[in-house]
């Protein structure tokens, strides 16, 4: 068992009558990339704000690097780096001024920890005299990450860092995170994108303030209880409704150009489904058995809630 970086026990947070976090418990090991995967409004930001000591939980206990988020908030603030979901640097300051500002308020300077951000910052360094507001989305994100790293944090909280960033920059960003992990930083990241889940060491699927499951991405996929088929025809919209009416069908989800259809048991006879669809006027029918991905698992867990604390 690796050393523990973050420990959360029974944390509850309510906003008036809305429950944002319902009795959350989990641990994050040192040096892992831990992902919170869930839709908007699942409670990810609330959790991050509690862990970064800017929001008080109603009850429960949370420790970051062995420090209590309420009692030792001053110490925690020196240890953590936080990148809020919204770009929150000064648009009217240049790239370099932003970085200097964050280094200074941590009582540090750029030179001291330059090695940490070198990989990332070198990509935007030629724009260092440009104002942050004039950077592209991907570059803004790199700057924000540099600012969150400049004081050499032990734990990095990234709240939806890739939202609103193009696909190429997203992949680049994840590569950067994996490199950062090698320097021993614990990274807690949240994302609404299911395809990013596979890039984390462990993930927690979160929905309505509940953690539905915590596991390695492979573990979550291998625990998927159903048989999954990818069905394709020439009319994807009608296909979805027709599949739902097929006897014995579990969940039906649109997935790109095809539909994912779940069955509790192996489909005994594919031709029966094929004939059913033909009868309903579909053509170019293709049915294939497929491996589930995180999104399938997430949807399955949403349908049967309360599987895991």
Partner 1 sequence: MRTVLYIIQKEFIQVFRNRMMVPIIFVVPLVQLIILVHAATFEMKNIRMAVIDLDMSGSSRKMISKFEGSPFYVIAQSTFSCQEAEKAMKKGDVDIILQIPRGFEKQLIRNEKSKVQLVIDAINGATAGLINAYSMMIILDFNRETLVDLVQPQMIANVKSINTNVNFWYNPKLNYKTYMVPGILVLLVTIISLLLSGMNIVREKEIGTIEQINVTPIRKIEFVAGKLIPFWILAMLELAFGLILGKILFNIPIIGSIWLIFLSASVFLMVILGFGLLVSTVTNTQQQAMLVSFFFMVIFILMSGLFTSIESMPDWAQMLDKLNPLAYFIRIMRMVMLKGSSFHDIRLPFYSLLVYALISISLAVRRYRKIS
Among 9, 58, 59, 91, binds partner 1 (CB under 8 A): 91
C-alpha atoms less than 13 angstroms from C-alpha of 98 in its C-beta half-sphere: 30
Q: Pick out residues in 37-66 that bind partner 1 (CB under 8 A).
A: 49, 52-56
Q: For residue 297, give every residue at least 6 positions away whose Cβ sits within 8 Å of its Cβ, in sequence order, or none.
A: 205, 213, 220, 221, 223, 224
Q: Per CB under 8 A, which region of 22-30, 74-82, 172-180, 234-242 contacts partner 1?
A: 74-82
| Structure tokens that stand for 40 in this block | 């908007």
Residue (83 or 188) nearer to partner 1, CB = 83
**Gap between the Cα atoms of 231 and 120, Å rounded:** 42
**CB 211 → partner 1: shortest distance, Å?**
23
Q: Interface with partner 1 includes 308 (CB under 8 A)?
A: no
For position 97 contacting partner 1 by CB under 8 A, the verdict is: yes
Burial of 30 (0-12, 13-18, 19+ CB in 10 A): middle
CB of 123 to partner 1, least distance (A): 21
**Using CA atoms, how far apart are residues 116 and 120, in angstroms rounded to an integer?**
9
SS3 for 275? helix
Contact status: 263 vs partner 1 (CB under 8 A): no
Q: Which of 9, 78, 118, 216 contacts partner 1 by CB under 8 A?
A: 78
Choice between 97 and 119, CB closer to partner 1: 97
Which listed residue (106, 193, 224, 255) binds partner 1 by CB under 8 A?
Answer: 106
When the beta carbons of 105 and 307 are compared against partner 1, the nearer one is 105
Helix (H, G, I), strand (E, B) or coil at 208: coil
How many CB atoms sit inside 10 A of residue 42's CB?
A: 23
Locate 126 and state its tokens.
Answer: 């030629």
Binding to partner 1 (CB under 8 A) within 129-168 occurs at 147-148
Among 77, 128, 130, 227, binds partner 1 (CB under 8 A): 77
In whole angstroms, the minimum distance from the beta carbon of 214 to partner 1 comes to: 25
Tokens 């489909």, located at residue: 267
Tell me the closest approach of the beta carbon of residue 82 to partner 1, in angstroms: 4
Taking the C-alpha atoms of residue 273 and residue 289, their distance in angstroms, rounded to an integer, is 13
At residue 155, φ and ψ (nearest 5 deg) are -125, 135
Q: Does 86 bind partner 1 (CB under 8 A)?
A: yes
Whole-number minimum distance, CB 292 to partner 1, in Å? 36
What is the C-alpha to C-alpha distance for residues 70 and 68, in angstroms, rounded to an integer?
A: 5
Report if residue 299 touches partner 1, rule: CB under 8 A.
no
Q: Please say whether the beta carbons of 31 and 202 come within 8 A.
A: no
Shortest gap between Cβ of 295 and partner 1 (angstroms)?
29
Q: Which positions touch partner 1 (CB under 8 A)?
A: 49, 52-56, 73-74, 77-78, 80, 82-84, 86-93, 97, 100-102, 104-107, 147-148
């Amino acid at each position: 068992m690796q050393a523990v970086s973050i420990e959360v026990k029974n944390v509850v947070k309510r906003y008036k009558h809305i429950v944002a976090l319902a009795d959350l418990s989990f641990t994050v090991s040192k040096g892992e990339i831990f992902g919170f995967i869930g839709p908007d409004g699942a409670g990810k930001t609330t959790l991050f704000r509690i862990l970064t000591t800017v929001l008080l939980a109603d009850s429960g206990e949370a420790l970051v690097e062995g420090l209590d988020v309420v009692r030792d908030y001053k110490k925690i603030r020196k240890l953590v780096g936080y990148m809020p979901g919204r770009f929150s640097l000064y648009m009217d300051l240049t790239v370099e001024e932003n970085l200097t500002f964050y280094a200074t308020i941590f009582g540090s300077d750029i030179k001291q920890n330059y090695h940490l951000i070198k990989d990332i910052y070198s990509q935007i360094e030629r724009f260092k005299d440009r104002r942050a507001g004039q950077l592209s989305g991907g570059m803004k994100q790199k700057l924000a990450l540099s600012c969150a790293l400049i004081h050499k944090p032990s734990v990095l909280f990234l709240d939806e860092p890739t939202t609103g960033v193009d696909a190429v920059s997203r992949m680049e960003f994840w590569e950067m995170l994996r490199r950062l992990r090698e320097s021993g930083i614990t990274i807690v990241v949240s994302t609404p994108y299911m395809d990013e889940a596979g890039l984390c060491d462990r993930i927690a699927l979160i929905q309505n303030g509940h953690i539905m499951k915590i596991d390695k991405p492979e573990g979550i996929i291998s625990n998927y209880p159903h048989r999954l088929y990818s069905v394709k025809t020439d009319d994807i919209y009608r296909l979805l409704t027709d599949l739902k009416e097929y006897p014995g069908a579990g969940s039906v989800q649109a997935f790109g150009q095809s539909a994912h259809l779940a069955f509790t048991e192996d489909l005994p006879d594919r031709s029966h489904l094929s004939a059913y669809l033909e009868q309903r006027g579909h053509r170019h029918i293709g049915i294939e058995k497929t491996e589930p991905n995180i999104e399938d698992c997430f949807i399955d867990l949403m349908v049967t809630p309360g599987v895991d604390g």
